[in-house]
Structure 1
């Protein structure tokens, strides 16, 4: 009996905290189906009087397919370039012995210790001087280059791989590229998935850099489109349409997390060997 009570209390606490954490998202979904009258009502309503699905049609028309496509180009460009930089660099720093490796490792620590706002203006100036402002290259490359955390993360993971595994591949005649792609990289799937989810989410939510470098219609991303909807002072669009637009922007992130949840959990747990 006592065990049953403890179990009931534990699950009740979990459900309570889960509802508290999920409440903003649930209200966002509910608000996306409300009318302006429902949202403006006091005390606030939790559910729409009559679901208005036309809010999503208006939100889609406001966001435009081009903005959504631009966001995917930006996010996947950052993700693929960061993985292309971080994975080989992390493997080299952990398994390849070369002169000055400790100095290179220390240099990767410097950007982590520097405030983001401190490097924002120099990065913009360099992008401007290269003529990349208003282009996808200017939008993607500076963010993809901020790969210090990823390099150190993958270095730490590859350091946990047994040295004998790498030495066996080298003795069998594999060069460093073959060792990396055939031995180390397949074992890194959980940490790659975890890093990919975090990078996807971070790039998807970036606002300041796209605002500085790519505010035009041809390169505008979702965060720039959603920002004016945060207040009716700068937008004549109903808040319910703004809620629906936020739901549309949230769906890809949820899909990515659900699809990679298994690998994400394993990567966070630090497991890599099966």
Structure 2
């Protein structure tokens, strides 16, 4: 009887907190479909009397398709480059014995203890000296280079793989590249999915660095375009259109999480070995 009560109490607690967390998101979606008059009514309305889909049309016109495309270029560029750095580096540190491995590992650990804001100015100066400010390379490369956490994460995962797998590959005549691509990477799908979701979300929500490194219209990303709306700087744009713009900015992250939810859960819960 007690286990059932405990289970019921646990489920009730999860549901209550889930509803509390979901209320702002549900109101955001509801507000994006309200008219300009309904969204400023008092007491506030919870549901629109009739969905106003034109809010999304106006939001896209304000955000501009080019800005949305720029955001995907930035986020996907960061994700691909970080995976290209983190996966082989983590595998090498975990499985390939070489002199100075401990020193290299320490070098990757040090940046994790440094505040991000401390590195912002020197990173911008280097980007400016290289003439990359206002370009996609200047926007992507400094963020993609912040891969210390990813290297250590993948290193820890590859270190948990049974040594017998590596030894079997070596006995069959496979070189390190073949062992990495044919044995280790297929087993790393859950942790790759987890890291990809977190990296995608982090890059999508970045504001300070895109503001500094990509000030022009050709490289503007969504967070820069949404900031004036959040601050109420454009009084001619109705709040309902602002809500719709926020929903547009949220949807890609939500879709990515839903698609990779299975692998994300596996990556968080365990090593991914089945």
| 8 A Cα contact 2:34 2:51, kept in partner | yes
2:251 aligned residue = 251
| Aligned partner of residue 23 in structure 1, secondary structure | helix
Residue in structure 1 matched with residue 56 of structure 2 by the alignment: 56
CA contact (8 A) 1:139 1:209 kept: yes
List per-residue Cα deviations over 1:135-184 (Å, max 9, x = no partner).
00000000000000000000000000011211111121111111100111
- Hey, what's the Cα distance between the residues in 1 that align with 2:141 and 2:235? 32
Does the 8 A contact of 2:93 with 2:155 survive in 1?
Answer: yes
Task: Please give the secondary structure, in 1, of the residue aligned with 2:273.
Answer: coil
Q: Distance in 2 between matches of 1:206 and 1:250?
A: 13
**Residue 160 of structure 2 contacts residue 271 of structure 2 at CA under 8 Å; is this kept in 1?**
no
1:14 Cα deviation (Å)? 2.4
CA deviations over 1:171-204 (Å, ceiling 9, x no partner): 2111111110011111100000000000000001
Q: Distance in 1 between matches of 2:169 and 2:132?
A: 43
Q: 1:209-240: per-residue Cα shift (whole Å, max 9, x none)?
A: 00001021100111011111013234421111
**Aligned residue for 2:88?**
88
Which moved further from structure 2: 81-90 or 224-233? Answer: 224-233
Identify unmatched segments of 5+ residues in structure 1.
none
Relative to 1, partners in 2 of residues 1:94 and 1:236: Cα closer, same or farther, differing over 3 Å? Answer: same
The aligned length equals 274
| Deviation at residue 35 of structure 1 after TM alignment | 2.1
Q: TM-score, normalised by structure 2?
A: 0.96
Task: Pick closer, same or farther for the CA change 1:221–1:235 going to 2, 3 Å.
Answer: farther
Aligned counterpart, 2:264 = 264
Q: Is the 8 A contact 1:228 1:235 kept in 2?
A: no
- 1:176-195 alignment to 2 at 5 Å? 176-195=176-195
- Offset of residue 83 of structure 1: 0.2
Match for residue 132 of structure 2?
132
CA contact (8 A) 1:112 1:149 kept: yes
Find the counterpart in structure 2 of residue 156 from structure 1.
156
Q: CA deviation at 1:3?
A: 6.9
Unaligned runs of 5+ in 2: none
1:49, distance to aligned residue in structure 2 (A)? 3.1
Distance (Å, rounded) in 1 between the aligned partners of 2:132 and 2:6: 60
Q: Which residue of 2 aligns with 1:220?
A: 220
Other-structure match for 1:204 = 204
Distance 1:235 1:205 in 2: 24
Name the structure 2 match of 1:106.
106
RMSD: 1.5
Note if contact 1:78-1:144 (Cα within 8 Å) is conserved in structure 2: yes
Within a 5 Å distance, the mapping from 1:110-121 to structure 2 comes to 110-121=110-121
